[in-house]
Amino acid sequence: MPYSQTSSFIFYIHQIKKSNTYTQRHKRTKSLGTKTQSYKIQKMTISNLLLLLMMMTSSSSTVEAARTKKSTTTTLNHLSNLDYLTFPDRKASEAAVVEWGHSAVISAIDATVASFGPQTSRGAFFEVEASPILADPVAGVSSDVMEKIQRHNNGEEYYKLEPAPLNNAEDVHGNMVVMTNTAGLSGVTMAKIAKESGAAALMVVNVDHDYPDYVYSLTPENEEEQIYAEEEVDIPVIMVSLQSGNVLTTATVDEHTDPKDIVNNGMPERIRLYGGGDRPFFEDVLNHKPVVYIIHNLLTETECDELIKAAESKFDLVSDDDTNYLEHTIPPPAKQDGVVMQNNIQRATLWRGALNPHSGKQIEERIEQVTGFPQDHFSDFQVNKHVAGSYHGVHYDTHPINVPMATITVFLN
């Protein structure tokens, strides 16, 4: 399993106020197999926003987060009829970074690498430094061809696409071509068009307005594409989200820029593509009510072990009447809809400030850098210890004084 060296962080945000200036962009997670005793650490910000905790399911050696695919009428504790997707979808070996700028100001977006073409494991042979060039047409084919493809897909007429060079192939040659997937072309077909145009790399922008942070690894769709990809595709092929595509195409402009002064469609002059390695990256799960991300590579295995060790002598059994506002312990009711809400969970609080060790401060700094939330808004760490038979019922995180803005949950082992 690729998810063997880091913990799994789940990041929830709910009903973010428009006046709030913190950034909630990026993406990443890793999960470890469960042991006889498992530990979960939860850190909450305590700003003015409402948090909704989403149900998590741990199964064998993976951690799953549910994203509903359609609206389903259900009560809080009767979720067996939900139609859901499981996560994580992304793997560290598929993670890449597109970066631009200079030593003083560096900007970057996350990308995921296609299953074909050069892979991140090839190191320098995967890396590319080039100019980003917007494809013409941007979807790789003209609107007329897009209509023919649509009619073919609807069974109205037969049409076989013959990939051809882009209109601006001369500009694309030797650079990274930026193309959208709005035409419904396969990843291999777009790679054919990019190669026909002499591109050094292909960036596909996933135009998904419902999930603007969602990306996935492109794969061949049939045996013919598989053979072509293995024999012919020798350029890196990556996908970035719609959100990231917008960041790239506004990198050199602001609200005061005159349209006549925009160069290269707002994109930087040069960009660098390289493997993500141990860099944290986000995976989009749900983009509203609540906002949910999985954050890969946020903690190291050593940091997880240190947190467990720091909490080991501090655990107390959580009871139904155990209310401690200072430690943010607000238990749910003993039962709801006839379902027991918590059973055999032990909890320890790791205090911040002078009592926080160096490793704890490093973790807080990293969370701030990755999520954009300032450390001043963090609560103390809650570490929950689960043994065989322990569980939490589905519930809302709440606090009568400091309403949580977001929760980060990490599975430490």
Q: Dihedral angle at the C-alpha atoms of 168, 174, 177, 183, nearest 10 degrees?
A: 60
With the C-alpha atoms ordered 147, 153, 159, 162, is the resulting torsion angle positive or negative?
positive
Strands of 128-130's sheet, edge to edge? 128-130, 271-275, 95-101, 106-113, 237-241, 201-206, 176-180, 132-134
355 within 8 A of 377, measured Cβ to Cβ: no
pLDDT tens figures, 186-244: 999 999 999 999 999 999 999 998 888 889 999 999 999 999 999 999 999 999 999 99
Fill in the amino acid letter for 100: W
pLDDT confidence of residue 188: 97
- pLDDT over 50 (residue 18): no
Task: Return the H-helix or E-strand segment holding 229.
Answer: helix 223-232
- Which pLDDT value is given to residue 293? 86
Verdict on whether the full-model pTM lies above 0.95: no
pLDDT digits (tens, 9 = 90+) for 26-83: 333 233 233 346 666 654 433 322 222 222 323 333 444 445 444 444 444 455 566 6
Tokens 């962009």 found at: 25
From residue 2, alpha-carbon distances to 95, 107, 111, 217, 265 in Å are 12, 27, 18, 15, 38
Q: Is the pLDDT of residue 94 over 90?
A: yes
What is the per-residue pLDDT for 328? 52
Give me the pLDDT at residue 8, please: 43
Q: What is the dihedral of CA 38, 40, 41, 47, to 10 degrees?
A: -170
